[in-house]
Structure 1
Amino acid sequence: MSAVSLPLTRVRAWPASRPQISVEMLALLVSVFFSMACNGAFWHAYAETGGLQAAAGWRTAISLFVAMTGLNLLLLCTVLNRWTAKPLLTVLLLVTAFAVYYMNQYTVYLDPDMIRNVLHTDARESAELLTRGLVLPVVLYAAIPIALVWRVRLQCLTPGRALLRRLATMLVAAVVTVGALLVSFQDISSLMRNHTEIRHLITPGNYLASLARVAGADGKGASQARLPVGADAQVVGRNAGKPRLLVIVVGETVRAQNWGLNGYSRQTTPELARRDVLNFPDVTACGSSTEVSLPCMFSAQGRHSYDKQAIKHSQSLLNVLDHAGIATFWRDNQGGCKGVCEGLSFESVADARVPELCDGEGCLDNVLLHGLQQKIDLNDRDQVVVLHQLGNHGPSYYRRYPAQFRQFTPTCETPQLGKCSQDEIVNAYDNAITYTDHFLAGVIDQLASDTGRDTAMIYLSDHGESLGEHNLYLHGVPYQIAPATQLKVPMVMWLSPGLVADRGIDLRCMRQQSARPASHDNLFSSVLGLMQVRTDVYDPRQDLFADCTGPAGA
Structure 2
Amino acid sequence: MDYLKKCFSRSDRQGRAVSDPLGRLGRHVRGPQLGISTLIIVVALYFTLFLNNAFFAEVIAKSGVDGAARALLLLSTAAILTSLNVLFLGLLCTRWTVKPVVSLLLVLSAAAAYNSDNYSVYFDASMVRNVLKTDSAEAGELLTWGFFLAVLMKGVFPAVVACTVRIRRPSSLASAVLARVLLLGVSVVVITGAAFASFDNLSSLMRNHKPVRYLATPGNYLASIAKVVREQTRAERGPIQVVGPDARMKPHPPGAKPHFLVIVVGETVRAQNWGLNGYSRQTTPQLAASDVVNFSDVTACGSNTEVSVPCMFSVYGRRDYDRDKIRGSESLLHVLERAGIKTLWRDNQTGCKGVCADLAFESFRVPIKDGLCDDQACRDEIMLRGLHDAIDDNPGDVVVVLHQLGNHGPSYYKRYPEVLRRFTPDCRNADLGKCTRQQIVNAYDNAVLATDDFLGKAIRMLEQDQSHDTGLIYVSDHGESLGEANVYLHGLPYAIAPDTQIKVPMVMWMSEGMKSSNNLDLQCVRDRSKRPASHDNLFHSVLGLMQVRTKSLDESLNLFSGCSINSGSTP
Q: Identify the TM-score tier after normalising by the shorter chain.
A: over 0.9
The question of whether the paired residues in 2 share the 8 Å contact of 1:289 and 1:462 is answered with yes
Partner-residue secondary structure (3-state), 1:66:
helix
What is the TM-score normalised by the length of structure 2?
0.92
Pick from 112, 124, 127: which aligns with 2:125? 112
Partner of 1:269: 284
Partner of 1:466: 481
Partner of 2:158: 145
Deviation (angstroms), 1:193: 0.9
Q: Which amino acid aligns with 1:496?
A: S
Give per-residue Cα distances to partners, 1:488-529, cap 9 Å, x unaligned.
Answer: 100000011001111100011111011111110000000001
Partner of 1:203: 217
Partner of 1:333: 348
Give per-residue Cα distances to partners, 1:33-53, cap 9 Å, x unaligned.
Answer: 111111100111112125551
Return the alpha-carbon distance in structure 2 between the equivalents of residues 350 and 59 of structure 1.
51
Mean CA deviation greater in 41-50 or 417-426? 41-50
Give per-residue Cα distances to partners, 1:2-54, cap 9 Å, x unaligned.
Answer: xxxxxxxxx99x97963221211111110011111111001111121255512
Return the alpha-carbon distance in structure 2 between the equivalents of residues 343 and 434 of structure 1.
34
Return the alpha-carbon distance in structure 1 between the equivalents of residues 31 and 123 of structure 2.
37
Deviation (angstroms), 1:232: 1.5
The question of whether the paired residues in 1 share the 8 Å contact of 2:30 and 2:165 is answered with no
Give per-residue Cα distances to partners, 1:78-114, cap 9 Å, x unaligned.
Answer: 1100111101111100000100111111011111111
Partner of 1:248: 263
Q: Which amino acid aligns with 1:68?
A: L
Q: Which amino acid aligns with 1:72?
A: N
Partner of 1:456: 471
Return the alpha-carbon distance in structure 1 between the equivalents of residues 317 and 546 of structure 2.
20
The question of whether the paired residues in 1 share the 8 Å contact of 2:410 and 2:432 is answered with yes
Mapping of 1:353-502 within 5 angstroms?
A: 353-502=368-517
1:515 partnered with 2:530: yes
Deviation (angstroms), 1:288: 0.6
Q: Which amino acid aligns with 1:169?
A: L
The question of whether the paired residues in 2 share the 8 Å contact of 1:52 and 1:58 is answered with no
Give per-residue Cα distances to partners, 1:260-308, cap 9 Å, x unaligned.
Answer: 1111111111111111011111111011101111111000111110111
What is the TM-score normalised by the length of structure 1?
0.95
Give per-residue Cα distances to partners, 1:402-440, cap 9 Å, x unaligned.
Answer: 111101100000011111111101111111111111100
The question of whether the paired residues in 2 share the 8 Å contact of 1:238 and 1:532 is answered with no
Partner of 2:208: 194
| Matched length | 542
Return the alpha-carbon distance in structure 2 between the equivalents of residues 410 and 225 of structure 1.
53
Mean CA deviation greater in 310-319 or 347-356? 347-356
Partner of 2:100: 87
The question of whether the paired residues in 2 share the 8 Å contact of 1:503 and 1:552 is answered with no
The question of whether the paired residues in 2 share the 8 Å contact of 1:502 and 1:552 is answered with no
Deviation (angstroms), 1:337: 0.5
The question of whether the paired residues in 1 share the 8 Å contact of 2:29 and 2:164 is answered with no
Partner-residue secondary structure (3-state), 2:264:
strand
The question of whether the paired residues in 2 share the 8 Å contact of 1:391 and 1:436 is answered with yes
Return the alpha-carbon distance in structure 2 between the equivalents of residues 246 and 296 of structure 1.
20
Q: Which amino acid aligns with 1:346?
A: F
Deviation (angstroms), 1:160: 2.7
Deviation (angstroms), 1:185: 1.6
Deviation (angstroms), 1:223: 6.3
The question of whether the paired residues in 1 share the 8 Å contact of 2:243 and 2:335 is answered with yes
Return the alpha-carbon distance in structure 2 between the equivalents of residues 171 and 494 of structure 1.
66
Return the alpha-carbon distance in structure 2 between the equivalents of residues 361 and 482 of structure 1.
29
Deviation (angstroms), 1:258: 0.6
Deviation (angstroms), 1:222: 7.7
Return the alpha-carbon distance in structure 2 between the equivalents of residues 61 and 19 of structure 1.
31
Unaligned residue ranges in structure 2 (runs of 5+): 1-15, 18-26
Mean CA deviation greater in 230-239 or 531-540? 230-239
Return the alpha-carbon distance in structure 2 between the equivalents of residues 239 and 354 of structure 1.
45
Return the alpha-carbon distance in structure 1 between the equivalents of residues 400 and 115 of structure 2.
36
The question of whether the paired residues in 2 share the 8 Å contact of 1:505 and 1:550 is answered with yes
Partner of 2:116: 103
Mean CA deviation greater in 45-54 or 307-316? 45-54
Return the alpha-carbon distance in structure 1 between the equivalents of residues 207 and 362 of structure 2.
45
Partner of 2:228: 214
Partner-residue secondary structure (3-state), 1:384:
strand
Give per-residue Cα distances to partners, 1:126-176, cap 9 Å, x unaligned.
Answer: 000000001331132112211221111112233332222211211111111
Partner-residue secondary structure (3-state), 2:378:
coil
Q: Which amino acid aligns with 2:70?
A: G
Q: Which amino acid aligns with 2:371?
A: E
> Residues 552, 357 of structure 1: CA spacing in aligned structure 2 closer, same or farther, 3 A cutoff?
farther
The question of whether the paired residues in 2 share the 8 Å contact of 1:286 and 1:302 is answered with yes
Return the alpha-carbon distance in structure 1 between the equivalents of residues 369 and 333 of structure 2.
28
1:44 partnered with 2:65: no
Mapping of 1:113-128 within 5 angstroms?
A: 113-128=126-141
Mean CA deviation greater in 347-356 or 443-452? 347-356
Displaced runs of 4 or more, over 3 A? 14-18, 221-225, 550-553
> Residues 246, 354 of structure 1: CA spacing in aligned structure 2 closer, same or farther, 3 A cutoff?
farther
Partner of 1:181: 195
Deviation (angstroms), 1:551: 3.8
Return the alpha-carbon distance in structure 2 between the equivalents of residues 326 and 106 of structure 1.
42
Mean CA deviation greater in 403-412 or 53-62? 53-62
Q: Percent identity, please.
A: 51
Deviation (angstroms), 1:194: 1.3
Partner of 1:531: 546
Deviation (angstroms), 1:65: 0.7
The question of whether the paired residues in 2 share the 8 Å contact of 1:98 and 1:138 is answered with yes
> Residues 221, 327 of structure 1: CA spacing in aligned structure 2 closer, same or farther, 3 A cutoff?
farther
Deviation (angstroms), 1:210: 0.9
> Residues 532, 147 of structure 1: CA spacing in aligned structure 2 closer, same or farther, 3 A cutoff?
same
Return the alpha-carbon distance in structure 2 between the equivalents of residues 40 and 352 of structure 1.
38
Deviation (angstroms), 1:237: 5.1
Partner of 1:6: none
Deviation (angstroms), 1:354: 4.9
Deviation (angstroms), 1:381: 1.3
Q: Which amino acid aligns with 2:187?
A: A
Alpha-carbon RMSD across the aligned residues, in angstroms, is 1.8
Q: Which amino acid aligns with 2:43?
A: V
Return the alpha-carbon distance in structure 2 between the equivalents of residues 168 and 50 of structure 1.
33
